[in-house]
């Protein structure tokens, strides 16, 4: 079974600064996807960024980028130029891409609460 660990229950960042959220995972699979989801206080979960395990290039979406280290099983999220609207719970998630386990089941980490100070 896969596990996802987020070791930082809470983080804070000054507006306009950069913050990095950590995520490690454990799997014996070679093909999988990794995601970062954001859950604002309104509770609707939205996808921030995703990474395919076989792609070495780190994914980037505007101010959000990841540092994917497959050998270390690490998948951190960097938020640049932090904005007040970035304040939320952030969840790291794993999904198998193995053909015999194809599906949409996500395994989530425990989450990191990000606070943005004005």
Nearest residue (CB) to another protein, 45 versus 115: 45
Where residue 103 falls (left for φ over 0; alpha for ψ -120 to 50; beta otherwise) is: left
User: Of residues 44, 56, 71, 85, which one binds another protein by CB under 8 A?
Assistant: 44
Is residue 56 part of the contact set for another protein (CB under 8 A)? no
DSSP string, 7-39: --SEEEEETTS-EEE--EEE-S-SSEEEEEEEE
Contact 21, 77 (CB under 8 A): yes
Q: How far is the CB of 34 from another protein (least distance, A)?
A: 12
Question: 14 in helix, strand or coil?
Answer: strand
Q: How far is the CB of 18 from another protein (least distance, A)?
A: 26
Is residue 78 part of the contact set for another protein (CB under 8 A)? no
Structure tokens at 78: 């960097």
Between 57 and 76, how does the x/- string for binding to another protein read (CB under 8 A)?
--------------------
Binding site for another protein (CB under 8 A): 33, 37, 42-47, 50, 52, 91, 97, 102-111
């Amino acid at each position: 079974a896969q596990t996802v660990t987020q070791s930082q229950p809470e983080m804070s960042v000054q507006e306009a600064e950069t913050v990095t959220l950590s995520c490690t995972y454990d799997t014996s699979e070679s093909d999988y996807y990794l995601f970062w989801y954001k859950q604002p206080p309104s509770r609707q979960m939205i996808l921030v960024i995703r990474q395919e395990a076989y792609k070495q290039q780190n994914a980037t979406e505007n101010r959000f980028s990841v540092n994917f280290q497959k050998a270390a099983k690490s998948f951190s999220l960097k938020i640049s130029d932090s904005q007040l609207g970035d304040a939320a719970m952030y969840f790291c998630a794993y999904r198998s891409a193995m053909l015999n386990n194809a599906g949409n089941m996500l395994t989530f980490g425990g989450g990191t609460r990000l606070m943005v100070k004005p």
